[in-house]
Each structure stands twice: as structure tokens, then as C-alpha cells.
Copies of this chain bind each other. A is one copy, B any other.
């Protein structure tokens, strides 16, 4: 009974040390030295190589290091075991802080100040107060709810759109396909935090952009496949959208020749909005391991029907 760890970005040393603070007896195995594969019953991972998890014949549960589990479910050889999405405070805070930062950048037009600085141009311009700016969040899960809470605290007029109705303080809840257009029509700054599913693939397209107020802006911290890239470029060209900040891309890393890198009205960040910090997240993973060992129900399970 051992746990196999894999991540291209999270350090195994740190995670092992943090997990053992909570579970001193944990048999923690690294991807490159898994030992007897039949002893592995748990995996803790992000973006494992396709087919990789199938090599553990007794795998019983997968703990995702990310909130989105699409990189796991894209693996046709993925063992048919429960997948626990990562929902823990430091990841939630990190992405919510990212959303707030980039909403404020768009709101205060910091990109225009950056252009002016490059050209040594002193030209005052002032944003209206946040209470005149309408932010719309596509997706109101744990991360969307926390981003909404912060945006409300700053004073923005906040609405969210989700599959089902939500009840969050001072956040207007739009839900279901019928209410999407009304939500879009009132969103000056649109933030995508949706999980990747068949329903959300390609949702950020020309038809959707056309339903936003003219000059609206986009922040995508959902998944790259949700954005039709050519539609974004066309909407920026036409002025329908004023700017975009993107953390996720259909192809990651974003290829060096991609037009997004040098576009004057696109901000690119390398899928770095948030990450579970081991010191915070290990507590949650350890508790989930305890629950798994005790045969208790696991929280935040991947729902095959919903697709996330």
C-alpha cells in the first residue's frame, strides 16, 4: 500500500516531507523509482505521461494535484478508479488572486500605462471606481466563489454563470444555457474559470464575444480548449474585445511562433495562475488519504456525467 507521485512542476521532496508531517508512515514513491508496482494503490499527480498510471495494477484512487482533471481523463488507458480533484485553500486563493489581479489590470487599464512607459509618454487617464464595472465569472465552483468574494469586497458589480443556481453574497447568479446571454450582455470583464468538458470546449467563440458589451475584455484561467483562438484575434481586431489575459492554451507550452506572444492586447502567463502549495495542500491530501484508508466517502470526486 503505497502512493505514487508525479508532477512536472511540483517538487517530490517537498511534497513527501509535507505529507509525512501528517502521515509519518506513508510509503511515498517517486515516478522514476516506483519499486514493486503492485504495491501502489494511490496516485498523487498532475499531467502524468499517458498510459503511465495503467502500469499500476492495484491502483484504487487518484488524487489530482490540480483542480481540473482533464489531463488525467484524456488518457485512454486511465484506470477506472475514483479521481479526487484538488480543492484546497492555497490553490483556491492563488487562482482567485490571479483573477483579481488581472481584473484590476483591465479595469485600471494598466496595459495602456505600460505602453506609455515604453514610449516615455506622460498621459493621465483614470478608471471609474470599481462599483461602475461589471465583472462576469463563467464558473462558480470553489475558485469562482472565492474570486467573486474578493471582487465583491473591492466593490465590483459581480455576476456568475454556472450549471446550477448559486447563492453567494452580492453575486448575481445566472444559470443554465437560457441565462447565458443575459449574463454576457452585462459583463464588461469576462472571466472564464470553467472546467474542460464537452460542453465547455470552444465556448469562448465569436458568437459569445458578440454578446458581450463592445470593448469588453476577457480573462481565461479555465482551459485552453475553451477558446477559439482565431475568434479572439478577430474580436480584438474589430474592437469587439479590448484586451485579453490568458493563462491556459490549447497547446502548452504555447509554441514560440504563436501569435499570442507578441500581440499588443494579449497578456500571456504560462499556466501559473495558481498551484497547491505543499504546506497547505498536504493537509488536505493527507485527510483524503486517511478517508480512503478508512473507507469513508471522498470529497470533490470527478463526476463522469458532469465531465469534471
| A contact set with B: CB distance below 8 Å | 9, 89-90, 93-94, 97-98, 100-101, 104-105, 107-108, 110, 113-114, 116-117, 120, 122-131, 149-150, 153-155, 252-254, 256, 261-262, 267-272, 274-275, 277, 280
Known: A97-B104, A101-B104, A150-B154. A280 touches B114 (CB 8 A): no
**Is the pair B150, A153 in contact by a Cβ cutoff of 8 Å?**
yes
**Is the pair A129, B97 in contact by a Cβ cutoff of 8 Å?**
yes
Question: How often does this chain occur in the complex, in copies?
Answer: 2
The residues of B that contact A270 with a CB separation of less than 8 Å are 113, 116, 122-124
The residues of B that contact A9 with a CB separation of less than 8 Å are 124
Report the minimal beta-carbon distance from A90 to chain B, rounded to whole angstroms.
4
**Is the pair A110, B101 in contact by a Cβ cutoff of 8 Å?**
yes
Contact of A268 among B108, B117, B252, B274 (CB under 8 A): B117
A155 to B93, CA, bound (A): 9
**Is the pair A129, B272 in contact by a Cβ cutoff of 8 Å?**
no
Q: Provide 29 A-B residue pairs closer than 8 Å at the C-beta atoms, listed in order of the A residue.
A: A9-B124, A89-B129, A90-B129, A93-B129, A94-B127, A94-B129, A97-B104, A97-B108, A97-B130, A97-B154, A100-B100, A101-B105, A101-B107, A104-B104, A105-B110, A110-B269, A113-B272, A117-B261, A117-B268, A120-B262, A122-B270, A124-B275, A126-B272, A126-B274, A128-B277, A129-B277, A149-B153, A150-B153, A153-B153
Among A90, A101, A128, A131, the most chain B Cβ lie within 10 Å of the Cβ of: A101
A272 to B98, CA, bound (A): 23
Q: With CB as the reference atom, state the residue of chain B lying closest to A271.
A: B124
Contact of A272 among B105, B120, B124, B271 (CB under 8 A): B124
A83 to B122, CA, bound (A): 28
Query: Given A101-B104, A124-B275, 13 other A-B contacts at CB below 8 A?
Result: A90-B129, A94-B129, A97-B127, A104-B104, A105-B110, A110-B269, A113-B267, A122-B252, A123-B270, A124-B272, A126-B277, A129-B280, A150-B154
**Is the pair A256, B120 in contact by a Cβ cutoff of 8 Å?**
yes
